[in-house]
Amino acid sequence: MTLLRGTDILETERLCLRRLDHTDLEFFIGIHSDPEVARYIGAGNPRPQAETERWFEDIQDSYQNANLGQLTVIRKSDGARIGRCGLSDAVIEKTATADRLRKGWFFSAHAPKEFDVEKLPELGYTFGREHWGQGYATEAARSVYDYAKCHLAFPAIMSVIHADNAGSRAVVMKFGVRYIDIVELAGRPFERYHWPL
């Protein structure tokens, strides 16, 4: 995952970030079912409970198999869960073709075997709508980014952002990211940015 073994938590002034556990599932079912939140992630539709449960299992597998994963973001002032942020196990097709977008997948196990892919961890974040615009995404992303730069040896870290998601784009731009291209994830185009390492 995004924390070294034996490290339990990332902390910022206002936030704690930790691995997802079974007590978080209902919270994520709730935010993934919100149409305003869901329009910017995955296929763009509210996720049914079963889909979030599968995603939750994939996160648990990614902790074990890729040493990566999303982290639950908790507000220190009241202990409330407000979102997630972390480094996802993601892959992108190595070679672009002229007739279609380069494809990508969250969770490398989901990439079809016939595709030649490169592993590019994705720094991503999703927060409940009531927590937008308060600087939480920036604070959490800075924590994960700083941790990755200091403790992880990735040649590149990407973020993928839906073109309509001006708020998420504003967050990554604060860190000097570089626009790379547009990739297809979950059947939709997303802008891809690389973080400076």
Q: Which CATH number goes with the domain that contains 164?
A: 3.40.630.30
98 lies in some domain:
yes
3-state secondary structure of 178: strand
Q: How many domains does the chain have?
A: 1
184 lies in some domain:
yes
Asked if pLDDT for residue 60 goes beyond 70, the answer is yes
Listed in sequence order, the residues at least 6 apart from 43 whose beta carbon sits closer than 8 Å to its beta carbon are: 186, 187, 188
120 lies in some domain:
yes
4 lies in some domain:
no
Please give the share of the chain, as a percent, with pLDDT higher than 70.
96
What is the per-residue pLDDT across 19-50, written as a single tens digit (0 to 9) for each? 999 999 999 999 999 999 999 999 999 999 99
2 lies in some domain:
no
- Quote the CA–CA distance of 160 and 33 in Å, as a whole number: 20
> Distances in Å between the alpha carbon of 3 and those of 58, 63, 86, 130, 152?
17, 10, 9, 27, 9
Q: Which domain holds residue 38?
A: 10-194
What's the whole-model pTM score? 0.94
35 lies in some domain:
yes
What is the per-residue pLDDT for 58? 95
What is the per-residue pLDDT for 43? 94
38 burial level (CB within 10 Å; 0-12, 13-18, 19+)? middle
What mean pLDDT is predicted for residues 47-72?
94
What is the per-residue pLDDT for 5? 60
154 lies in some domain:
yes
